[in-house]
Chain A
Amino acid sequence: MLESGIIIRALMRNKIGALLIALQIALTMTIMVNAIFMIQDRQQQMQRESGIDEKNTFYLTNTVFAQDYNIQVEMQADLNLIRKMPGVVDAIQINAIPLSGGGWSMALQHEPGDDKDTVSSALYMVDDHGINTLGVELIAGVNFTPNDIQWRASGQSTWPDKTIITKAFAKSLYPDDWQSALGKTFYISQNQPMQIVGVMKNLQAPWNGWSGVERSMLVPFQMESQGSKYLIRTEAGRRDELMPIIEKALAERIKGRLIRRVTTIEDTRKKSYRQHNATNKILTTVVSTLTLITGFGIVGLALFSINRRTKQIGTRRALGATKWQIMRYFMVENFIISTFGVIFGCIGAIALNMWLATTFNLTPINIELIIIGAITLFIVGQLAVLYPARKASLISPATATRTI
């Protein structure tokens, strides 16, 4: 086809340059495919829903320093004040914020005792307003009632006997039928019974890099501690307007404590995935640079070989080659070199992926990505060779007689 046999035979007599370019293509493809795979993986992670109403939610910290401060009373007063404010949907005290990177983790087990299999989960302490403030969706069971809520002293090691867990957590406990988790009693801290009264659609743990990030549980606790966080959900679009108002209202309601770190969940998400974004940018830059270098390498090699073959090209023109036939020669030649590069690139990409998969526990690459990588490199090759090929086609047939 298209004198490819002749081109291959001619290439075999000038292997080195072609081989180097083929290797460069193979290397680019190996890195490109895996980098894009990693970029996609991160993007998918970033697109996972936290489960909460991110756009309309913010939080702040409340730090008590006064000695005579009644934490239980004042916290309830704080929440009552916030919940009554126009534009506020609901508010809670909470021990940890999804996406924030800091929080609690506990494990549940089917049977009491040491050395039993456990499944760990993020743990959020909330009251009966938890579901509404977080904006999570209860897909089975019931919410906590006000009677369920207990005060938890600092360092307390006993737990309430009720919990609401995410569907992902339920699936980990009952892989075959998550719904059967509802109503079941599990054991926390080895032997304290805890009944699952509700299941939420989703609520992420605070740690985005954790493999169990979708496993979370709510427990009906209010913390009696000097430092606590209030999570506040507003009506759509009113968050920014209410943030300073609530901060001021709390600060003015009672002295003896500090209201600080008023932060939106959106900012927390950004911060949480800052590293992901940065890594993706770096990977994108590396891949584009590498592709560009390969493109220039192809241009360079083609220009070099065309300069070396000026007389030969003139002779071909003298023997009747049209400009297009000359162009086509170099395009087919590039296609052949790219084919070798891409074949080795496929092998390289799969090998690197296998190594990454075993070393960093990544999932195996999908075949579409390899195909896309191959097509991309073929296109890059053809585009890169276009200018040199055009230049070659403009060599005058008179070159055949005019050069020695």
Chain B
Amino acid sequence: MLIMKDISKIFQTGDIQTHALRDFNLTVNEGDFISVTGPSGSGKTTFLNIAGLLETYTHGEFLLDGEDVGKLNDNGRSRMRNEKIGFIFQGFNLIPDLNLFDNVDVPLRYRGFNAKQRKLRIEENLERVGLASRMKHLPSQLSGGQQQRVAIARALATSPRFLLADEPTGNLDSEMANGVMSLLEEINQQGTTIVMVTHDALLAERATRTIQVKDGRVSELEILAQQAIA
């Protein structure tokens, strides 16, 4: 469970204050596949970064798996990112100097798994995204869609509870985007909670829950919808 209560985030750039999130409230339940849409600059990435512990928030309360994130120090946050969260980026963010095997290995090493466990997890997850045969390839030798699949394998390798994706299909053509989306659906069905920011209305609809962010808040539509469900 991921619970955000009245989270706000203020960026201070010189004299200018930007309220990226204002009283942001959201509960993500185990097994959810949530798509987050909203206009550019509305705070989607900020929300996802805070949810993924990449950024701190200014006010509010944030519980992840029952743990108060605000009380963690930098090392604690690193550990929690590694154990509970898998992150997928719009630009894939694979390490260009490392082959697929070593790329998937990165978070496993930070976790401190031994070589045998790591090998098992790397092979299993590359298998899961259909790229086990290309373990020794460099990212640059793959298509965008394949690179994003490697990134998904890397995010899943540590068996996180939450998969956070910021426009994972933003750099892909529609066919590849479709493939990645299907993969995410499959992963969600296998039990991983997913929060995905997207611009693509068609993909957004395929999620089990859709929320809209506007001006740093979860928009009225979503709140109404939540009430309707209740």
State the A residues within 8 Å of B (CB).
3, 6, 9-10, 13-14, 311-312, 315-325, 396-398, 400-402, 404
Contacts and interface: CB of A to CB of B under 8 A. Distances in A.
A357 B54 CA distance: 60
Most buried by B among A316, A396, A398: A398
Given A397-B81, A401-B166, A319 B106 contact: yes
B69 to A, nearest CB: 14
A3 B82 CA distance: 17
Given A311-B93, A319-B82, A320-B83, 13 more contacts: A6-B105, A10-B97, A311-B91, A312-B95, A316-B110, A319-B110, A319-B154, A321-B78, A396-B54, A397-B81, A401-B89, A401-B166, A402-B49
A311 B154 CA distance: 16
Interface in B78-119: 78-79, 81-83, 87, 89-91, 93, 95-99, 102, 105-107, 109-111
Given A3-B109, A325-B110, A400-B87, A320 B55 contact: no
18 contacts: A6-B105, A9-B97, A13-B97, A312-B95, A316-B110, A317-B54, A317-B81, A318-B87, A318-B93, A319-B82, A319-B154, A320-B107, A322-B74, A323-B75, A400-B54, A400-B89, A400-B93, A404-B91
B158 interface: yes
B93 A321 contact: no
Nearest to A315: B93
Contacts of A311: 91, 93
B47 to A, nearest CB: 11
Nearest to A6: B102
Nearest to B102: A6
A320 B97 contact: no
A313 B78 CA distance: 13
A204 to B, nearest CB: 63
Contacts of B97: 9-10, 13-14
B102 to A, nearest CB: 5
B54 A401 contact: yes
A321 B90 CA distance: 20
B52 interface: yes
A389 B109 CA distance: 19
Main SS of the interface on chain A?
A: helix
Most buried by B among A317, A323, A324: A317
A404 B167 CA distance: 12
Contact of A396 (B55, B79, B166): B55
Nearest to B80: A320
Nearest to A12: B97
B110 A320 contact: yes
B48 interface: yes
Nearest to B90: A401
B45 interface: yes
A315 B89 contact: yes
Nearest to A311: B93
Most buried by B among A6, A318, A324: A318
A194 to B, nearest CB: 79
Nearest to B155: A319
B55 to A, nearest CB: 5
A320 B81 contact: yes
A298 to B, nearest CB: 20
A315 to B, nearest CB: 4
A319 B107 contact: yes
B42 to A, nearest CB: 15
Nearest to B84: A320
Nearest to A316: B106
A67 B2 CA distance: 117
A7 B166 CA distance: 28
A3 B103 CA distance: 12
Nearest to A320: B82
A22 B99 CA distance: 25
A315 B111 CA distance: 15
B57 to A, nearest CB: 12
